[in-house]
Amino acid sequence: MQIGLAGTGRLGGAMCRRLLKLGHAVAVWNRTAERAQPLVDQGATRHDTPRRLAEACDVVLTVLTDAGAIDSTYLGKDGLLAGDVTGRVFVEMSTVRPHVQQALETCVIERGARLVECPVGGSGASAVEGKLLGLAGGEASDIERVRPVLTALCSRLEHVGPIGAGASMKLAINLPLIVYWQALSEALSLVQHLGLSPERMISIMADTSGAPRMLQMLGKAIADALSGEQTGPGQFNVAVLRKDLRTMLEEAQSRGASLPVADAALQCFDRAAQEGHDQTDGLRLPAIWLARRR
């Protein structure tokens, strides 16, 4: 099976490395071609347009920034659906609202192909280790066709409903994780006066029932950020957190629900962006918050 991957950012690139490590044939396309070069050096084949990628592959995974990127990558002049894609299966893995995936499904079916959505929970490190959480939406028969690919990336793959269901689940699981960055920042402000080392403070908090697994995994990096040290390659930037929160708020509004905590967190992150931190690694948010009090 020839696997294609469009979008080789942090997560997409990590997925590609995982598939290559397992011996799969992988072809890639990225809007900025040079960013895909490290994957080519590791054995991937690069195509210069999404159309050529789709024509050359049996299954195409897409890990894109937002709804606009999905629209241009699939429906552009040389997009994934521009050529003959009869019989192909596309697996859309971006974090977007459900209606975006549902509209895409209509376009894919019109071209004689099939769509599975499968946004994932986890980081780039989780992808490299094959430990993502897959939230699949679509027809059961289509998901079975791509199960070998998805289970190579995901330690747990859940079929949660039709197209759109995966998007809903992804927004739901991301909400408490994103809001936690602000909650942690505020919690640290209550103990800053104690003079404990950042490493010790984070270690104590990570050992409580209120700590998400994320704090246990990224605790050292957060402590390093609080100490003003380098934290290594970024996990996700503030811009991504803001984009996801806006997506959640828009989806909630469309369903007649309110998300006051998410709205408040977005306002805090918007302030960080206004202060020049939009491209800053999100795990530095507690340090940014505490620095305002000094």
Residues 134 and 22 in one domain: yes
Residue 8 CB contacts under 8 Å (≥ 6 apart), including other chains:
16, 28, 29, 30, 35, 36, 39, 63
Q: Within this chain, do residues 271 and 149 fall inside the same structural domain, yes or no?
A: no
Which residues on neighbouring strands pair with residue 161, listed in sequence order? 137
Q: What CATH number does residue 148 fall under?
A: 3.40.50.720
pLDDT reported for residue 33 = 87
pLDDT in tens, 168-227: 999 999 999 999 999 999 999 999 999 999 999 999 999 999 899 889 888 999 999 999
Question: Domain range holding 227?
Answer: 168-291
Same domain flag for 203 and 141: no
pLDDT of residue 294: 55
Last residue of a domain, one of 140, 163, 186: 163
Ranges of residues in the chain whose predicted pLDDT is under 70: 232-234, 293-294
In what helix (H) or strand (E) does residue 103 lie, and over which residues does it extend? helix 98-110
Same domain, 157 and 71: yes
Pairwise CA distance, residues 49 & 28, whole Å: 10
* Same-domain pairing of 145 and 174: no
Same domain, yes or no: 18 and 98: yes
Q: What is the pLDDT of residue 89?
A: 98
Which segments of 22-139 does DSSP mark as H helices, in order? Answer: 37-41, 50-56, 67-75, 98-110, 124-128
Domain closes at, from 128, 163, 198: 163
Classify strands 25-29 and 2-6 as parallel, antiparallel or unpaired.
parallel
Angle at 153 between CA 150 and CA 157, to 5 degrees: 55
pTM for this entry: 0.92
Residue 157 and residue 235 share a domain:
no
Is there a single domain that holds both residue 270 and residue 249? yes
Q: Are residues 229 and 285 in the same domain?
A: yes
Whether 112 and 219 share a structural domain: no
Examine the domain organization and report whether 152 and 268 are in the same domain: no
**Domain CATH code at residue 263:** 1.10.1040.10
Over the stretch 56-68, which tens digit does the pLDDT of each residue have? 999 999 999 999 9
Do residues 187 and 163 make contact, with C-beta atoms less than 8 angstroms apart? no
**Beta strand 120-121 pairing with 132-137:** antiparallel
Q: What is the pLDDT of residue 250?
A: 97
> Both tokens of residue 47?
């195509």
Last residue of a domain, one of 122, 145, 163: 163
Beta bridge partners of 92: 62, 117
Q: What is the pLDDT of residues 36-48, one digit of tens each?
A: 999 999 999 999 9
Residues 46, 182, single domain; the answer is no
Cα separation of 107 and 14, whole Å? 28
Domain count, the chain: 2
pLDDT at 293: 64
Query: Which burial class, exposed, middle or buried, applies to 162 when counting CB atoms under 10 A from its CB (0-12, 13-18, 19+)?
Result: middle
C-beta separation of 241 from 178 below 8 A:
yes
